[in-house]
Structure 1
């Protein structure tokens, strides 16, 4: 990599003249000390006859005889921006390395465009029907009707995290709006996976990376990527480890007994319901009296999170006297669509919940989903069968429920103590 812009331009000109590349790799110097790389295609030339004032064609005069007609020759060229930039005056080894990598990438793109241009030479038209920007391709997937609502939401969260990674990465912050497909390399994917690990916990990074790989595979199926940059890169985590906080039965009793000024009783009633049923917030929010069978004393509903994607989305939950009392009755007997809980949005519910937790003197980071985990751990601690708990939670397999067993130190101590005394004398 040369350090001087003029030398670089001269070397590129000599190279282009020698090889007669089409397209040519060119650059445009910017005011901020960078140079923008672009491709210039030569599409041929057009000839227009030169006419005199009377509309007759002008010809060259050769002595007393008239020679060849005159023509205006126009060379047809087209430019394609690569959105790649180099430093015209690199001052550090990092700048020089950046220029070297960028030029290598630009030359690779130029070579691929040249092959495409040769294959589609008839008519000298450039095909631009293929998407070349991974950012816009990724953003389009966030609104794809192929995915369910919950999947689209997760894909959008992954997209936002990927944009944040690009903006906060000194090496890739120039690609936050336009990322060429060729730039999506294994090095970039590895950096993104490390960014997910550093900015998430539990299964969150793994889930986001799963959706990212799904988008990459879609791009490969659409012939936008030649190879899989995610190959060999994975995010591992212990799925058996429960990362959420748990409320013990004593803390739950303390929480229920806590009253304070400005409390939201409807939020509190719904959260207590989740503590004793393990139902997620998204299901509690939409639960109506039509989901309650007062004759058989059961609660029946489909889990919104996995509905349409799992054969175990339907849940049948038996209701105790306390739960029936907590649910109450509809204001109108013939209105099964009436919601059981009149709740605000999720963030507002968690805001009131955190205030309630603080007033109760519980020093734990509790969100609404902690109620689901607390229910599973507490009923297992009371001796419930894991298969029964798995059914009540609506899990597709017992392996999902087993992670709650790792929280029960009481059972671990009892298991070790069941071996009896050692009886070894020193």
Structure 2
């Protein structure tokens, strides 16, 4: 893709070649190597009082809308060039749609809307441009939606190409049923929440005329712990299990999470600078709540066993140099299976296990909330319910009493 860039003083340039385009498609050059696409609207002239001249003067009425779509400034690989091509095509279609809206408003007519966008291609482009911490969940939502299309006879014909107008409320109902049947616990709710996030953006970008997810929800009991937890005995059973080819960093990191309650996204970024060896404390800021929670910063006391698990290194070195989340999960599942534990254990189960086990051993709920980095007790209460359930199961496991 070769665009002749007439870069202006504000680091922007106009992509639209037709002088009659309104709005015009342009891009702003960013310092991170990307270009942010925007639309410039022209609404004619408006009169505005000038204090300097002491009279009304005519000024051009303009507006700029950033599309949250990005190009690589200097694409180096075939993939980056393909991404630029797809993003530019999406932006041009949005520009066309906005232009039709202006014509409809001003002239009372509308050209036929081009509905040739492949929603799956647009979805993937959205994922590629996404920069927030839950990016892997966006990718997972895409993969699961494609799996749903393939697995559902009624919609299998759309598994490779589906127009935005073909996303219906009936399809969304079927999709939520598929999620609930396939995923245990909060998995279905989490993936559907990310899918709705994508759909909402598609509506905002005029890729979709209306939101087909409105009124369709996946309910969860926020105060119910739905994931499996490891008991203290099972933790010891897992720690005692080794196998050929195990990754020692994955092993150390998961054991650390079992004893400290960290999320995967936090443990993977820990460096030795986070450890106060003199005072035996781990200090870090939670990635999930960074910037929008008073409890984002967490301090966890460390005992000698945990310090030995951490080891020593340079301040900027990662304590646990981990592979991808997918690789960590595969290794964890193999490890759990080799240990003979018949539970569906994900990385986040370590956090849940930590909370349940220390509550079961007498810790109060405020202490647990503080260690987990919860800003209140609402999210911690589900662990007290899990402990109550464990106690009831323990009582029920005794032989029946016949008097």
- What's the TM-score, normalizing by structure 1? 0.60
* Structure 2: 5+ residue stretches without partners: 1-99, 396-403
RMSD: 3.5
Q: Which of 173, 179, 183 is residue 162 of structure 2 equivalent to? A: 179
Q: Which of 222, 236, 242 is residue 219 of structure 2 equivalent to? A: 236
* TM superposition shift of 1:185: 2.0
Does 2:187 correspond to 1:204?
A: yes
Preserved CA contact (<8 Å) 1:131 1:137: no
Q: How do 1:64-103 and structure 2 match up within 5 A? A: none
1:51-81 superposed Cα distances (whole Å, 9 cap, x missing partner):
xxxxxxxxxxxxxxxxxxxxxxxxxxxxxxx
Preserved CA contact (<8 Å) 1:131 1:224: no
Q: How do 1:182-261 and structure 2 match up within 5 A? A: 182-258=165-241
Distance 1:173 1:410 in 2: 42
* TM superposition shift of 1:292: 0.3
Distance of aligned partners of 1:233 and 1:263 in 2 relative to their CA distance in 1, 3 Å threshold: closer
Rg larger for: 1
Distance of aligned partners of 1:265 and 1:196 in 2 relative to their CA distance in 1, 3 Å threshold: closer
Preserved CA contact (<8 Å) 1:389 1:401: yes
Q: Which residue of 2 aligns with 1:328?
A: 311
Preserved CA contact (<8 Å) 2:116 2:163: no
* Structure 1: 5+ residue stretches without partners: 1-114, 417-426
Preserved CA contact (<8 Å) 1:297 1:318: yes
Preserved CA contact (<8 Å) 1:300 1:316: yes
* TM superposition shift of 1:208: 1.9
* TM superposition shift of 1:293: 0.9
1:268-287 superposed Cα distances (whole Å, 9 cap, x missing partner):
33322211101123322322
Distance of aligned partners of 1:171 and 1:257 in 2 relative to their CA distance in 1, 3 Å threshold: closer
* TM superposition shift of 1:392: 0.8
Does 2:382 correspond to 1:403?
A: yes
Distance of aligned partners of 1:127 and 1:360 in 2 relative to their CA distance in 1, 3 Å threshold: closer
SS of aligned partner of 2:128: coil
* TM superposition shift of 1:379: 0.7
Q: Which residue of 1 aligns with 2:353?
A: 374
Distance 1:185 1:140 in 2: 21
Distance 2:258 2:374 in 1: 17
Distance 1:263 1:151 in 2: 27
Distance of aligned partners of 1:393 and 1:347 in 2 relative to their CA distance in 1, 3 Å threshold: same
Q: Which residue of 2 aligns with 1:139?
A: 124
Q: Which residue of 2 aligns with 1:25?
A: none
Preserved CA contact (<8 Å) 1:313 1:394: yes
Distance 1:350 1:184 in 2: 32
- What's the TM-score, normalizing by structure 2? 0.63
Q: How many matched pairs?
A: 295
1:167-190 superposed Cα distances (whole Å, 9 cap, x missing partner):
222222222333233222211221
Distance of aligned partners of 1:139 and 1:346 in 2 relative to their CA distance in 1, 3 Å threshold: closer
Preserved CA contact (<8 Å) 1:185 1:229: yes
Preserved CA contact (<8 Å) 1:203 1:239: no
